[in-house]
Amino acid sequence: MIALETVAPVIEWQSLSPVLIVLGGACLGVIWEGVLPRRLRNPFQIVTLLAAIIGALTMLTLNFLHASLATDAATSVDPKVGLLAVGTLCSDGPSMAAWFALLVFGGLALLIFGDRQLNQGASAFASAAATTPGSDEEQLADTIGREHTEVYALGLFSLAGMMVFVAANDLITMFIALEVMSLPLYLLAAIARRKRLLSQEAALKYFLLGAFASAFFLFGAALIYGYSGSFQWAGIDSAISGGSTSGVAVVTFGDGILITGVALLAVGLLFKMGAVPFQSWVPDVYTGSPTPVTGWMAVGVKIAAILGMMRVFYVALGGIRWTWQPVIAVVAVLTMVVGVIMALAQTNIKRLLAYSAVSHAGFILTAVVGTQFYVGAGQLNAIGSVMFYLIGYGFATIAGFAIIMMVRRGSAEAWDLDDWAGIGVKNPVVGVLFAIVLLSFAGIPLTAGFIGKWAVFTSAWTGGYWWLAVVGIAFSLVAAYLYLKVLIKMFFAPPAEGVRVAKASPFVWIPVIISTIATLILGLLPGPVMQWLSTLEIFIR
Amino acid sequence: MNPTLLAVVTLAAVLFCIGLVGVLIRRNALIIFMCVELMLNAANLLFVAFAWAHGGLDGQVAAFFVMVVAAAEVVVGLSIIVAVYRARRTTSVDVPDALRL
């Protein structure tokens, strides 16, 4: 008889604490919903949200500083680089940088959920999502002032999913994180206060297509597991570069299962980042979702999906780089072309920004394809440049969607582009802030968008994909025309009747101001952030 | 060459394709959702088959994780489908068409 010995797993509590704090805050939010009277829930939820974000950021900073100090103390191993929780998560430069970015963006974007002023004392979410739109129950729920305060907890759950996703070290952790990040967003998409039918439709589309894409991801993961016999990146990599020929699955099926698996896995990841040909959900879901949720998912999901994809494709699948690079290059071109051309045709500001998000995924993919790893000290390689781009894109996107919340016709948000005519004259402050957002999206110098585009195109060019960088620059110019068109309409067209900039609470203003200032600072003084990212741009294996 | 593994993997691939085709051609949200679940189960079969082929346990553990995730997905998915059904009295995915180009 074999004696069963169970070895207790070693869990690095301190290194994991940022994720655990966010998850703890989310669970606390669920508890508040169960035990507190209605009037107390909202303040408790907001305090919990802020405490979780600040706590997680503090612990992350401590870990980061501690790690750096320990390196200085002549230890040969950098302790911030290592596997956590029995090899399921990677703690390395990119995951630390991504955690910082996700926590900051999460804090800013989820704070916007707290606004009560733009909807005359109500939140941006349905008073009771279970009621049928237009029914007496809905009216009653509106009248007595019911509201859903679970939204903060759902936001924190999705944030935790994203944090695990970018740091995942095996396929199953990645799949679980994908679902933990997506499921709360499906629900958040469904519960807009206004235009509820649109919101429910968006959630239905997001859910069905998202579940479809997850199934692709999972089947691909199973095939890769079959080929390599391992879920972990290192195991997959050694099976690929060792030319795994002995495994029973490989003997039966050959290399075909690896290629098929990679293709299916890529479908799941490209869907989440909204790359063509898997972009069809993006405009509908971005438009139909409550605008604060759109801002959060546009930033968070994109950061998670792109960095997660880079980790899989660089660390686990780097050995067959020559096979996937041309395919992703074609996807990048299609994404830029379709994103920019479709954005030109839009008359709805939310759809316009949605297609613009698609095109940004294409610009970022150029650097992903470039796979430029080795650069001089203090310069950005593919991973660093993508992170810089995502940080700049994140700030601009949060500010952009928050400003869309403020511009209103009657009491509803004015999405029609014609309604935005003359907004810059009616309210110069909001006009200038939105102009900064648009200029950053367009990649005009002195904004974060310019430095980000410069970094990713340089990375693609030096990585050997110079033609992709050229296509990227060409379509950035076309895209610049698009944003300038909106800008000119905002400042020089005759003002639209009946549209105003509504008074917003600090819950909206603080994120908008911080984000636009950060956009400018990253454009004017990118040095320190670039320097910082250049120390954090190596994936561990 | 392992005929049993070949048979099981072929079955998994066939199930996956049935689910895939179902998602693409059926118009009822519930049927589409069931087809997605079929695809997840095909992946589960694959995990278990490969775990057996490799002589490890991690593939079997993966199947358990997938089952839990699928259950969570059902909760979220059905709630959205029911909400749409109550508002529109249909589960067809063609009827909600307010979001178009």
Using pLDDT thresholds of 50, 70 and 90, give the confidence band for residue A76. very low
Residues A376-429: tens digit of each pLDDT: 777 888 999 999 999 999 999 999 999 999 999 988 999 999 999 999 999 999
User: Which residues, numbered 6 to 35 in chain B, qualify as contacts with chain A under a Cβ-Cβ cut-off of 8 Å?
Assistant: 6, 9, 12, 16, 19, 23, 29, 32-33
| CB A328 within 8 Å of CB A265 | no
Contact B43 A221 (CB under 8 A): yes
Measured CA to CA, the distance from residue A258 to residue A132 in angstroms comes to: 47
Please give the residue of chain B at the shortest CA–CA distance from A205: B93
Q: Would you tell me how many other CB atoms lie within 10 Å of the CB of residue A317? A: 22
Both tokens of residue A45? 């939820």
Contact B5 A249 (CB under 8 A): yes
Strand A407-409 relative to strand A89-91: parallel, antiparallel, unpaired? Answer: unpaired
User: What DSSP string runs through B19-58?
Assistant: HHHHHHH--BHHHHHHHHHHHHHHHHHHHHHHHHHHT-SH
- What distance in Å separates residue A148's CA from the closest CA in chain B? 15
Q: Which DSSP letter does residue A125 get? A: B
Using pLDDT thresholds of 50, 70 and 90, give the confidence band for residue A68. low
CA distances from A441 to A268, A359, A486 (A): 26, 10, 12
Share of chain A above pLDDT 70, in %: 96
Quote the pLDDT of residue A252: 72
List chain A residues with CB under 8 Å of B84: 200-201, 204
Please give the residue of chain B at the shortest CA–CA distance from A132: B87
Both tokens of residue B42? 């095909």
Alpha carbon A154 to its chain centroid, in Å, reads 15
- What distance in Å separates residue A164's CA from the closest CA in chain B? 16
Does A370 have pLDDT greater than 60?
yes
Query: How wide is the angle at C-alpha B72 spanned by C-alphas A176 and A138, nearest 5°?
Result: 130
- What distance in Å separates residue A211's CA from the closest CA in chain B? 7
Does A74 have pLDDT greater than 70?
no
Residues B67-99: tens digit of each pLDDT: 999 999 999 999 999 999 999 888 888 888 887
Put simply, whether A231 touches B (Cβ < 8 Å) is yes
Q: Which residue has the tokens 């003359």?
A: A422
Measured CA to CA, the distance from residue A308 to residue A228 in angstroms comes to: 20
- B3-88 classified as CATH 1.10.287.3510: yes
Residues B9-45: tens digit of each pLDDT: 999 999 999 999 999 999 999 999 999 999 999 999 9
| Mean pLDDT, range B45-59, rounded to an integer | 91
**Residue environment code for B3-35, b if the CB has 16+ CB neighbours within 10 A, otherwise e:** eebeebbeebbebbeebbebbeebeebeebbeb
Contacts of A204 (CB under 8 A, 6+ apart): A190, B29, B80, B81, B84, B93, B96
Does A73 have pLDDT greater than 50?
no
Q: Where are the domains of chain B?
A: 3-88
Using pLDDT thresholds of 50, 70 and 90, give the confidence band for residue A244. low
Q: Which DSSP letter does residue A445 get? A: T
Asked whether the whole model's pTM tops 0.90, one would answer yes
Contacts of A339 (CB under 8 A, 6+ apart): A276, A279, A355, A356, A357, A358, A359, A360, A361, A362
- What distance in Å separates residue B31's CA from the closest CA in chain A? 11
